[in-house]
Amino acid sequence: MTRTYDSRKRILVTGGAGFLGSHLCDRLLAQGHEVLCVDNLFTGNKRNIYHLHSNPLFEFMRHDVTFPLYIEVDEIYNLACPASPVHYQHDPVQTTKTSVLGAINMLGLAKRLKCKVLQASTSEVYGDPLVHPQTETYWGNVNPLGPRSCYDEGKRCAETLFFDYHRQIGLEIKVARIFNTYGPRMHEADGRVVSNFVVQALGGDPITIFGDGQQTRSFCYVDDLVDGLIRLMETDQTVTGPINLGNPVEFTIRELAEAVLKLTDSKAQLVFSDLPADDPRQRRPDITLAQQELNWNPKIELNDGLPETISYFRKLLAEL
């Protein structure tokens, strides 16, 4: 799509060198916008955006969102925060600061610029849910003192800040609650179940399943998720969210492991380990609101998205 100078937006993507952020940068550039990618590269990686540096509409800035940012943009996508337990538990204090101070700084920037700002929240705000599937009206079952709290409560506080800015000064906000997302550019050592299983299978290592493998997750391919984020940002000011974005098709962890083994043609064995503290037993989004407000439905099934993800990791591991 070719945009004129008048229709082109300058868009900030924090966390833009990460898994989700880099795909979002791709899509926004393909739409003809200018993109300012901001990342401190704690979990993001330059290889995710290397292919974009020759694009004159793309700019990268190394910056930590816990510090203010003095720039001029038309829209803000705030994706900055470690999103896997391995990474967000590495420095839990910094994780909370990234969610809370990052939200404060991006909201302050949006207030000054009078522009839309989207918060990438998470299904983790529901904790270990007592309601299934999870709707946006559910307040959650979160342990505020556990090892996952830095992320869960940090994201919950960020949502609070977004809605208080909206109520207090009328700031135009969008809040997306993102459920398990997978695809190319996932970090090979992020500890998330899809990347874990694929890397282990390709390496011929045993597939490690925590618990009995009967806990469930719903897996959304990254292209579908990015489409949902952009559709949410493009809604009018009456739509604030929170809106669940995820694939409502539910799989047990054991089913995922068996699918990965089949697609990689691996003979690796399944091994079972203790379930981590506060690990949710069930996770599936109710996406009725996204269907109604965004006309959004995920299109890519797990059997179609997994081969793309496996192909990415096969190439990556060969290069490492």
Strand blocks (E) in the chain: 10-14, 34-39, 58-62, 75-78, 116-122, 173-178, 181-182, 207-210, 216-218, 220-221, 243-245, 250-252, 270-273
How far is 205 from 201, CA to CA, in rounded Å?
6
**Cα angle, residue 207 at apex, residues 265 and 281 outer, rounded to 5°:** 120
Active site residue 151: yes
Using DSSP's 3-state secondary structure scheme, residue 185 falls into: coil
Using DSSP's 3-state secondary structure scheme, residue 283 falls into: coil
Place of tokens 């609070």: 160
Using DSSP's 3-state secondary structure scheme, residue 142 falls into: coil
Using DSSP's 3-state secondary structure scheme, residue 58 falls into: strand
* Neighbour tally for 23: CB within 10 Å: 21
Counting every residue, how long is the chain? 320
Q: Which structure tokens are listed for 311? A: 């192909």
Fill in the amino acid letter for 122. T
The kind and range of the H/E element at 289 are: helix 288-294
Which of 157, 183, 179 shows the shortest CA–CA distance to 244?
179
Catalytic residue among 77, 88, 126, 151: 151
Catalytic residues: 151
